[in-house]
Amino acid sequence: MEVFIQTLINGLLLGGIYAAVGIGLSMIFGIVRLVNLAHGDLMILSSYLILVITGSFGLNPYLSLAAVIPVMFIIGFIIQKYILNRVLGMGMEPPLIVAFGLSIILQNTLLLVFSPDAQSLETPLSIKSIPITETLSIPAIYFVGFLVGVAVILALQLFFQFTYLGRAIRAASDDDEAAQLMGINTGTTYAVAMGIAMITAAIAGALIGTTFTFFPHTGPTYLIISFGVVIIGGAGSMIGTLVGGFILGLAQLVGSHFFGSGYQLLFGYLILFIVLVIRPQGIFGRKERAA
Amino acid sequence: MNQGQEKPSTKNGITRRRFIKTTSVGATSAIIAGTGLPGWVRRAEAAKRDHILIGRCNPSTGSLAGFGEPSPLIDDKAVAIINKNGGLFIEEAGKKLPVKVKMLDTESDSTKAAELAARLILNDKIDIMIALHTPNMVNPISATCERYGVPCIGLDAPIEPWLPGGPYRWTYHAFWSVAQDFYPVCIGMWPQIKTNKTVGLVANNDPDGIGFGKVFKELLPAQGYKVVDPGTFPYGTRDFTSLINMWKKEKVEILFGNVITSDFVNCWRQCRQMGFAPRIATVARALLFPPAVEALGGNLAQGITTEVWWSPHHPFKSSLTDQSARDLCDEYTKAIGKQWSQPIGFKHAAYEILADTLLRAKTLKKSHIIKALADTKMDTIVGPIEYNDKHYSRTPLVGGQWIKGREFPWELKLVYNGEHPDIPLTGEIKPVG
Amino acid sequence: MKSHQGWRLVLIAILVGALLSLPLWASRYVVLIFLLFGLHLAMAQMWNLLAGYTGLISLGQQIFIGLGGYSLAVLTVYYQLPIWLSILIGGGVCVLFAVIISFPIFRMSGVYFAIGSWIVAESLMIWFSNWDYAKKGMGFFIKAAYGVSLNQIYYSAILMGIGSVVLVFLLLRSKLGLSLMAMRDDEGASEGIGINAYRSKLACFLIAAFVTGITSGILYLNQVFIQPYNAFGIEWTVRLCFIVIIGGIGTIEGPIIGALIFVLLQQFFAEYASISLILLGVVSVLVMLAMPKGIIGTVQDKLAFEFLSPRRS
């Protein structure tokens, strides 16, 4: 029984990390109505950038993150403003294809620049754990990831509700024309939104990089997790993403508890698929306008 | 009929008719020109060349890059020695021909390996293929060689996962067998540390992982070991909670398996986190190379045991250069400043076998080459090679352990040599940690 | 009108004639290149049928690539069935599976459909890599292929390629094709005049599944070795997507040009594979930004000229 409780704890904590991974995709999907297929790869890019900085300056990964955040913001801003914005109105295929293309370019450039060997961001936290009882413990690194994930989501929730920029973004997303009439430059607003999404991706990159190993082709794995989180919880909803993360993490670990580790990923997919069929807008999502 | 009334629809100054005319003429002439082009387009029989062309698909990038890293350095050196006096004598040419190697990067991908192998055979028309580095590479390459009928020298992939592709006609393979070589090493090595004889399996879903797991599950119980199998898992599995729980519950004290490096790093760290500390951890493939060991971080690698198929301590000499294993490793370290790794010996041995075979065959006729290969009986830098009727030859295997080193951050000490006492021990086995 | 018709037929005849006679005058390597061309063309035509004409962006065609290949492997290795029969059955298996998943999948639209199809493919990958019957992650050696000649496989591949073009051509001029055009223009209105959108989409989905499955059988006959990570991998969709986009989505000639470019690029860069992929990615992004209709689409626009496709507009 206790082993099962441990599984539940780990699943929940993992969910927090997954939420942090998916929030960027959720934002862009909910706000710009764009599926950023390169989301996972951009996150891994952050992990690699953090790796470079820790390697060159000997800082610990969380400090290096501080330097990487502005870089990722700029990258996101540029990608949205000069590439993605241009394909926004063109229907469904072009944004998908462009994002797909970016994903492939990123993966293979990382492959060329860094070796394909697995990397990880070193931190002593990765092997520590916080014991609760004799047989239960909380893996420290999962716990940190969980806290950070929840913090990021709460921060975003506050941002969107109480700051001008946040409300401008929501306005642009709700009604592009009306927002423009109110003096909001929607193109730049979207770019800023993407920049913010990239900040979350950078943070997620730090979490993932310290918790698990990564290599250039890891991106799509996390993209699927982001999809899971976003679809289960509902695009554009902060709380939804958090809940989606929990459900996904639990589904994976509980599934592997009962059916074996080989099927771990499968259970996540199963839940995702079921949600797609019965309630594609997710638990907290709003019903899509006929796009 | 309406031609008189048709106005040429002009856009950008080109009429429809003219466009169609030009493209069709262009296409036709391209095709005709194609038949006029010599070489790679025209249908040609065996290439008439002034050198012997060897195909080499190497995992220079990807998850198996650790295996591929010492190439092309080692290959070039070996080839240089072969070519030192002009090369190998070939009857059809009436003189010695130098050896040239065409190396392509398979990116550690099986499908790509098969495609590149086909390309080397059909486009470059290689004479002989050399296939190395794990079943993921060797299997598709030898299958392609069997398909097109090209002699193939295989090395560096355990025998059991390779056999199902047979019976082989064109491929000759040399490495160790999981059941006959790795298994004795384990059951010889493990009793040296006191444990409760409960073994937990950790294995990927691929030929290596499944092959190892199957053999050990069959053979271990007879020796009084209890096997705990949580099931194989796919590449990229991140969370090992359920496996570790199972091992803890069954009180596993020996961890054994065959995993890729990145998955093992995740797993081992989580073991530490969850307080699972087996006394013995013998993992194949994951920790063969120093960078992989360093990726674990901290002191996590201390005491992990792995298979050792070649080391500077192996008492064999190269038939090409007369170097000992130690000499070859030193040469490698001096050349690029990196620590030695196990594939170096096998890459070198491939060219030894190649040279020996062609010296005896004296021809590039493929059917004669495989006859000569079948008759191989030689000593190489990885040990004696003599193929049996199933087309394989077993090379010696010993057990090694990773210990924090002095010259390099991590060093591999040989701690068990029961079946091959001629390979000296360099350390005493210790429990993990 | 007649003279245009004449020129078209002559050109097609020359090209087809060259392709069918290829093994007689070209090297084995060129035969291999066009073998790959034929296979990718067939699969790309199907992806195009779904994405360009039916409005179903599928990121999951690899489902059928995997199922087709594994059917061939399982049937020839375990039951010693003849190769061509196994390939045909593989196509049948794909159709069956397509019918089964059409129930959940067709309830999703647009981007959800795309993601859903991808999830099914990934799930199959995990399932097959855990399935003893499919030899788990070890994969199969399709030893039956050892005896098949390159030319045999070439002819089946190129016939699939040409056949897929003919199939799409005829399809678009059939009742189904006209329904697709109407649906594309205005789905609501088309339902009003009695077009069953669901049935039309399903029909295309099944056709695409069947053709892709058979093509995959031929592909793995050539490859000889099948593993789940590759057979069900997203890389296939990446390739098909790029082929169609660069060539021109929604046109029949688009996949032809795209497949040719792709196969040549792949061979040219075989030794520097990441570069070829980066190039593909960059070109696709540029194409989307500058010429979203791809090569053929832009040519069609600028020269007001149709070769094989009815105007997609």
A213 occurs within a structural domain? yes
User: What is the per-residue pLDDT for A277?
Assistant: 84
Contacts of C111 in chain A (CB under 8 A): 35, 92, 96
**ω before B72 within 30° of 0 (cis)?**
yes
Contact at CB, B241 and A6, closer than 8 angstroms = yes
Q: What is the dihedral of CA A186, A188, A190, A191, to 10 degrees?
A: 170
Inform me whether the pLDDT recorded for B16 exceeds 90: no
B318-334, pLDDT tens digit by residue? 888 888 889 999 999 99
| A239 part of a folded domain | no
| CA-closest candidate to residue C150, choices B54, B123, B170, B112 | B123
As a whole number of angstroms, the distance between CA C54 and CA C31 comes to 33
Distance in angstroms (rounded) separating the CA atoms of residues B271 and B414: 25
- Does the pLDDT value for residue B37 go beyond 70? no
Which chain B residues are Cβ-neighbours of C31 within 8 angstroms?
122
Taking an 8 Å cut-off on Cβ atoms, the answer to whether C288 and A101 are in contact is: yes
- Contact: A126, B273; criterion CB under 8 Å: yes
| Spatial contact of C153 and C218, defined as CB atoms under 8 Å apart | yes
Inspect the interface and report whether the beta carbons of C29 and B11 lie closer than 8 Å: no
Task: Return all residues near B13 (Cβ < 8 A) that are at least 6 apart.
Answer: none
| Chain centre to alpha carbon of residue A244 | 12
| Higher-pLDDT residue of B335, A177 | B335
Contact B408, B193 (CB under 8 A): no
B302 touches chain A (CB under 8 A): no
pLDDT for position A291: 37
- The pLDDT-based confidence of B292 (bands split at 50, 70, 90) is confident
Report pLDDT for C7.
Answer: 80
* Amino acid (one-letter) located at B5: Q
Positions in chain A whose pLDDT score sits under 70: 116, 134, 286-291
Nearest to B321 by CA among B332, B311, B310, B313: B332
Cα distance between residue B358 and residue B371, in whole Å: 11
Q: Which of C146, C271, C302 sits opposite B146 (nearest CB)?
A: C146
Range 188-207 of B in CB contact (< 8 A) with C: 204-207
User: What confidence tens digit (pLDDT) does each residue in A82-132 have?
Assistant: 888 888 877 777 888 888 889 989 998 998 888 767 788 877 777 777 777
Judging contacts by C-beta atoms under 8 Å, the chain C residues touching residue A276 are 104, 108, 112, 115-116, 119
User: At B45, is the pLDDT very low, low, confident or very high (cuts 50, 70, 90)?
Assistant: very low
pLDDT beyond 70 at B3: no
Residue A101 to residue C284, Cβ atoms within 8 A: yes
Average pLDDT across chain C, whole number: 85
B354 pLDDT tier (thresholds 50, 70, 90): very high
CA dihedral sign, ordered B147, B153, B158, B160: positive
CB atoms within 10 A of CB B398: 27
The minimal CB distance from A221 to the residues B233, B236, B295 is found for B236
Q: What is the mean pLDDT of residues C199-213?
A: 93
pLDDT of residue B25: 52
Whole-prediction pTM: 0.83
Say whether B204 and C137 touch across the interface (CB within 8 A): yes
Distances C214 to A95, C51, C65, C211, C242 between C-alpha atoms, Å:
31, 20, 8, 5, 21
Residues B79, B99: contact at Cβ < 8 Å?
A: yes
Radius of gyration of chain B from its Cα atoms, rounded to whole angstroms: 26
Rounded-to-integer distance, Cα B110 and Cα C82, Å: 26
**Model pLDDT, residue A286:** 63
The domain total for chain A is 1
**Residue B141 confidence (pLDDT):** 93
* Range of the structural domain that residue A113 is part of: 2-225
Contact B222, B195 (CB under 8 A): no
Q: For residues B61 and B224, what is the distance between their CA atoms, to the nearest angstrom?
A: 42
> Which of C216, C172, C243 has its CA nearest to residue C64?
C216
Q: Which two tokens stand for residue B133?
A: 């580095």
Chain A: give the shortest CA distance to residue C266, in Å: 14
Predicted local confidence at residue C187, as pLDDT:
67
pLDDT score, position C39: 95
Q: Indicate the Cα dihedral angle B269, A114, B76, B290, nearest 10°.
A: -20
The nearest CA of chain A is from the CA of C220 a distance in Å of 24
Residues of chain C found within 8 Å of residue B123, distances taken between Cβ atoms: 27, 29, 32, 267
Q: pLDDT-derived band of residue C3, with 50, 70 and 90 as boundaries?
A: low
pLDDT digit string, tens, across residues A145-163: 899 989 998 998 888 888 8
Task: Answer yes or no: is pLDDT of B39 > 50.
Answer: no
Total residues belonging to chain C: 313
Q: Is residue C120 within 8 angstroms of chain A, CB to CB?
A: yes
Residue spans per domain, chain C: 26-233
Tell me the ipTM for this assembly: 0.84
Which subunits sit against C, judged by 3+ Cβ pairs under 8 A?
A: A, B
Residue A240 resides in a domain: no
Per-residue pLDDT at B41 exceeds 50: no
The owner of tokens 């009815």 is: C310
Measure A281 CA to nearest chain C CA, in Å: 9
Spatial distance between the Cα atoms of C219 and C35, rounded to a whole number of angstroms: 9
Please judge whether B147 and C145 are an interchain contact, meaning their C-beta atoms are less than 8 angstroms apart.
yes
Chains touching chain B, criterion 3+ CB pairs below 8 Å: A, C
Distance in Å, alpha carbon of B308 to nearest chain C alpha carbon: 24
Q: What is the helix (H) or strand (E) element at residue B152, kind and residue range?
A: strand B152-155
- A128 located within any domain: yes
Read off the pLDDT band of C115 (50, 70, 90): confident
